A and B are shown apart, each in its own frame.
Chain A
Amino acid sequence: MAIFVDEHVCNRCGTAEEPMCVRDCPGDLMFIKANDKASITDNRECWDCAACVKVCPTQAIHMQLPTSLVVRGVTLKGRALKHKTTWSIRLRDGEEKTYETPSTGKPPFTPSL
């Protein structure tokens, strides 16, 4: 799988401490390069869980499907807020679709199907 860091946006969480993507990756794949920007050790190792994508406070990280899975040009960004996560999926022709998922606390009412 593949995640990409926009180096113009990443500010290593504005902290000297461990940046959040480096903290949260379940495969220990994220690290900070000499230029103070986050990077992934090896995209082949990525499970595609999007933990780093969501936790990034500047939305500098996006996910892409590898070419070997054929779907190209679709990208995903997300942002974990207090009670929900917001998502945006950019489709092949550039159109952006946005979604929200409740994340903590009392959920919104959902009628049974």
Chain B
Amino acid sequence: MTTVHAGRVELDCDLLIIGGGAAGCVAAVEAKELDPSLRVIVMEKAHVYRSGCLAAGISALNAYLTPGETAESFLRYAIRETVGVVRDDLTLSMAHELNAQVKRVEDWGLPIPRDEQGHPLKRGRASIKIFGERIKPILGKRAEASGAQILNRINATGLAMRDGRVVGAYGFGVRDGRFYEVRAKCVLIATGGAAGIYRPSNPGMAAHRMWYSPFNTGAGLAMGIRAGAEMTSFEFRFIPLRIKDAIAPTGEIAQWLGAKQINSLGEPYLEKYYEHLGGKRMLTQDRLYATLMECRAGRGPCYLDLRGVNPRKLDGTITSYLSMAPSAAMIMSDEAYYARAGGEMAPVEITGGEPHVVGGHGLSGFWIDEQRRTTLPGLWAAGDVAGGTPKKYASGAWAEAVIAIRDMVEQARARPAAVIEPEEAKTEEARVYAPADAPGGVPAREVEERLQKVMDEYAGGIGVQYGYAEGGLRLARLHLSRLAHELAALSAESPYELMHCHEVIDRVDVAETLVAHMTHRKETRWHCYQERLDFPERDDARYMLFVNSVKGPDGTIRVIERPIVRAEIDVVLPALEDGAMIRGARTRADDPS
């Protein structure tokens, strides 16, 4: 067995990219294209060929300006979906980059089907179809060929700081156990969001059959929190509405096969929640909320209606799932088989998954400026780890990476080589390997289970159907703080186990900040995502703002409110009645008359 703590490695570079996923790979290529003389290092905990969210592949790019759409129309859509709380500057600058970055990755070999006019096939107003099974190897190989140095299987643990500036990062080899100290003039954090904060929707052997990548454990967020970076909107959690058990996206069936969401009485139910708004006003979160309400009213479970769909048409859907969520393909294939054998296609049950902290779907992450600079000088953020812009997805992560890199390249040219404080490096090395010196201590899995139980029960997990209130949050804070003792007793007997220890250490840091944000926003703005049972109304007068936070050196989390700066754009916010009408629909439907 490899020694857990096996020597150290020191490296120097101009640009360090932490996380070689969607954002990180494109960032590396952009940097080397802008200036081939720059030394660029990518630090990746897995291998860039199949790491992160894109490991299985994806079947669509969900941020794209389809014909007729503009950056402004994209922003209007984002403002509506987040009920006003969004960074217009970030959203606009991202939107302007989207199509160029998609074209670029297409040129690298990503198959994008196009129509007779040469436009990518549209799946939604901001979404196009792709054949993305091989998307991650395409990005990874391109990053490898760019001339950037790729450090695979290095788990980043901390930012190196000197005089208030980020001057590099620390990590350890998950295979070789070595400590890495990488000095850099500019650092991009691109480690994705955080899964595994909450109890997953599937049990035991299937626990990792969750929506988000279980290997994205919020490392970058935690590194930023520990270094005092300002974070935004953690309380905007993302909860996917998914095909039950497989936790695969419903859009594939809903959009391609035109299947409606129906309740267990066979009634389409979305319409009744928004008919008064003239039809298509359903926000993403409300599709989930409406599903939950149907269940609460005794009309659940809910389904996607596949009755009447020609089973042969399903082959296209199964093929799509193979490129993205293979287990869903297995389940669908099995169902379709029975339909062919003479039975009727069973409706596909849908349900909410577990909550995640993920800036590419929601708003949570580093507070950044238009150049994607974080509040820590020397550190930029892109992709799921960056906050303020929803609806980013893969193509938006590429756009953000490119925007950040342009600024980083400029700055790196003018900066002297970075110097790391030896004292700080020593302290981090001791922190990283502490679990190696605690034989017989607590295994990471137990602490992870404790964290997930606390968050699920007190902070609005799937087990309590996402709602929460101050009383529970208080207990969440208490029990999270008590976890410090367990974290100090973590034990690892291999570098691989050491990785699990740091994953849970990082998750607890993310969870603490999350609970601080959830505590502060005393209204309900985003159903299910942010559902305060003690403050069920939306309060625009008080909370049309960003909830941000900074963790101080003494460990206290200071909450900061930041105003919304609206671009010059005419936009109609979802009416306050949207939420009220949902409750109205419930009342109406429950009314026996």
What residues make up the interface of A, taking CB atoms closer than 8 Å to B?
Answer: 1-2, 23-28, 41, 43-51, 53-55, 63, 65-71, 74-76, 78, 80, 85, 87, 89, 91-92, 95, 97, 99-110, 112-113
Contacts and interface: CB of A to CB of B under 8 A. Distances in A.
B379 interface: no
A85 to B, nearest CB: 5
B205 A68 contact: yes
Contact of A101 (B153, B202, B323): B323
Interface string B299-334: 000000000000000010011001101110111011
Contact of A25 (B46, B204, B209): B46
Nearest to A89: B333
A28 B204 contact: no
29 contacts: A1-B209, A23-B47, A23-B49, A25-B46, A25-B50, A26-B47, A26-B50, A26-B213, A26-B215, A27-B46, A45-B214, A47-B210, A47-B215, A68-B204, A68-B206, A74-B334, A80-B134, A85-B133, A85-B322, A87-B329, A91-B333, A99-B329, A101-B133, A102-B111, A102-B131, A103-B111, A105-B109, A107-B111, A110-B113
B133 A27 contact: no
Contacts of B319: 99-101
Given A2-B205, A49-B55, A74-B333, 8 more contacts: A24-B50, A26-B46, A27-B215, A48-B209, A54-B133, A65-B330, A91-B334, A105-B109
Contact of A113 (B52, B203, B204, B256): B256
B105 to A, nearest CB: 11
Interface in B136-181: 138, 153, 174-175
Contacts of B112: 107
B121 interface: yes
Contacts of A54: 133
A64 to B, nearest CB: 9
A69 B206 contact: yes
A23 B140 CA distance: 13
A24 B49 contact: yes
Nearest to B207: A44
A85 B245 contact: no
B363 interface: no
Given A99-B319, A107-B131, A49 B111 contact: no
Contacts of B214: 27, 45, 47
Task: With a 10 A CB-CB cut-off, give which of A49, A66, A67, A102 has the most chain B CB atoms.
Answer: A49
A112 B115 contact: yes
A103 B131 contact: yes
A28 B56 contact: no
B245 A69 contact: yes
Nearest to B208: A47
Nearest to A93: B337
A66 B247 CA distance: 14
Interface string B177-211: 00000000000000000000000001111111110
A44 B318 CA distance: 25
Interface in B326-364: 326-327, 329-331, 333-334, 337
Contact of B499 (A26, A28, A113): A28
A24 B140 CA distance: 11
Q: Which 3 A-B pairs have the closest CB atoms?
A: A107-B111, A49-B56, A103-B134
B522 interface: no
A99 B320 CA distance: 10
B555 to A, nearest CB: 31
Contacts of B551: none
B56 A50 contact: yes
B213 A91 contact: no
Q: Contact residue range for chain B? A: 35 or more
Nearest to B46: A26
Tell me whether chain B's interface is mostly helix, strand or loop, or mixed: loop
A4 to B, nearest CB: 13
A48 B327 contact: yes
A9 B256 CA distance: 38
Contact of B205 (A43, A47, A99, A103): A43
A26 to B, nearest CB: 4
Interface string B247-276: 000000000100000000000000000000
Task: With a 10 A CB-CB cut-off, give which of B111, B113, B213, B315 has the most chain A CB atoms.
Answer: B111
B51 interface: yes
A104 B208 contact: no
B322 A51 contact: no
Interface in B1-54: 45-47, 49-52
B393 to A, nearest CB: 18
A37 to B, nearest CB: 19
Contacts of B131: 101-103, 107
Contacts of A101: 131, 133, 319, 322-323
Contacts of B331: 65, 71, 74
A85 B206 CA distance: 25
A67 B205 contact: yes
A49 B52 CA distance: 10
Task: With a 10 A CB-CB cut-off, give which of B112, B121, B206, B213 has the most chain A CB atoms.
Answer: B206
A110 B327 CA distance: 24
B477 to A, nearest CB: 29
A63 B205 CA distance: 13
Contacts of B129: 110
A99 B330 contact: no
Contacts of B325: 48
Nearest to A69: B245
B122 interface: yes
A110 B129 CA distance: 10
Interface in B62-86: none
A82 B4 CA distance: 39
Nearest to A67: B205
Contacts of B49: 23-24
Task: With a 10 A CB-CB cut-off, give which of B122, B138, B208 has the most chain A CB atoms.
Answer: B208
A107 B113 contact: yes
A2 B204 CA distance: 12
Contacts of A74: 330-331, 333-334
Nearest to B121: A112
Contacts of B121: 110, 112
B47 A65 contact: no
A48 B50 contact: no
Contact of A1 (B46, B55, B206, B256): B206
B46 A44 contact: no
A46 B208 contact: yes
